[in-house]
Amino acid sequence: MSTKVILDTDIGSDIDDAVCLAYLLGRQDCDLLGITTVSGEPVKRAMIASAQCKCAGKKIPIYPGAEKPLLGSQHQPAAPQAGALDRWDHDAKFPRGEAVEFLRHTIRSQPGEITLLAIGPLTNIALLFASDPEIPGLLKSLVIMGGVFNPESFKKPGMAPSEWNIRCDPHAASIVYGAKTAVHRSIGLDVTTQVTMEAAAVREKFKTRLLQPVLDFAEVWFKHSGKITFHDPLAATTIFNTDICGFERGRVRVGLLNPEQYASTQWLRDDTGPHEVATTVDAEKFFGEYFRATA
């Protein structure tokens, strides 16, 4: 049985989105129904996703989505990895203004069957949930890469820690965490920062057909970082392999009013809570799972 997935991504900023997409394209049991892009230059982000899909020999519907957050300033106006696009075949034209409707129609047409994997700012998902409040209940599961759920791990003086995807659109995140889904799962920095790989090892490992374009995009990333942290692919692997992360239930609220708590994910453990939060990770199992799928 295949697993139906829709990917919502800000591919083109941190390299881990492209690393994640390669994994989904490599899983033979992943039925990737479509990709929506979010944040600054969403069309260029769609082009990057298209290049990877073409390299994998798959035709996946791609829809550029929201460019700006619901409220507040834009934290990532550009998609720098698009600078490597001229070396890869990719589509340049995509449906405009249809990302939310694509999500809505696809989920409604297959109720209870689709996992929505959100690995960027949650603007598209918030717009979807606000425009059609029944949608969260029609999902099989919602899996989010976002948040910090063990604040002591990332303590900063005078301010609660916040994770990039949440910080880029905290009002959207608040809407999404307020929605009721059958499974509402988050993988945050607490665990994702435990799965990293130095640039030299990446260059050695990323030689397969699926990973060659990712390595090319990664060279842009390596100009300011010497490693990859596998934030987004870790979230993706938990959809297919339940042994990689351990989860605990609780309740998550996104800070909006208190300046010291702004854009933070405040988690209260509660066995009856609606949210599942990753608390542990088996790094060895993760890397085994990832590189088997992308071989």
The 10s digit of each residue's pLDDT in 160-187 is: 688 999 999 999 999 999 999 999 999 9
User: Which helix (H) or strand (E) element contains residue 222?
Assistant: none
Binned at pLDDT 50, 70 and 90, residue 158 comes out as low
- The domain segmentation of the chain, as residue ranges, is 3-293
pLDDT at 237 over 80: yes
Binned at pLDDT 50, 70 and 90, residue 155 comes out as low
Give the Cα separation of 90 and 55 in Å (integer): 9
pLDDT at 159 over 80: no
The 10s digit of each residue's pLDDT in 70-116 is: 999 999 999 999 999 999 999 999 999 999 999 999 999 999 999 99
The 10s digit of each residue's pLDDT in 244-263 is: 999 999 999 999 999 889 99
In this predicted structure, what is the pLDDT of residue 8?
99
Which class is 3-293 in CATH? alpha beta
pLDDT at 144 over 60: yes
Contact between residue 116 and residue 139 where contact means Cβ atoms under 8 Å apart:
yes
The 10s digit of each residue's pLDDT in 113-140 is: 999 999 999 999 999 999 999 999 999 9
Tell me what the mean pLDDT of segment 37-50 comes to: 98
Contact between residue 39 and residue 120 where contact means Cβ atoms under 8 Å apart:
yes
Kindly tell me the sign of the dihedral angle through the C-alpha atoms of 281, 266, 164, 104: positive
For 270, how many CA atoms within 13 A lie in the half-sphere containing its CB? 11
In this predicted structure, what is the pLDDT of residue 41?
98
In this predicted structure, what is the pLDDT of residue 152?
72
DSSP class of residue 88 equals S
Binned at pLDDT 50, 70 and 90, residue 154 comes out as low
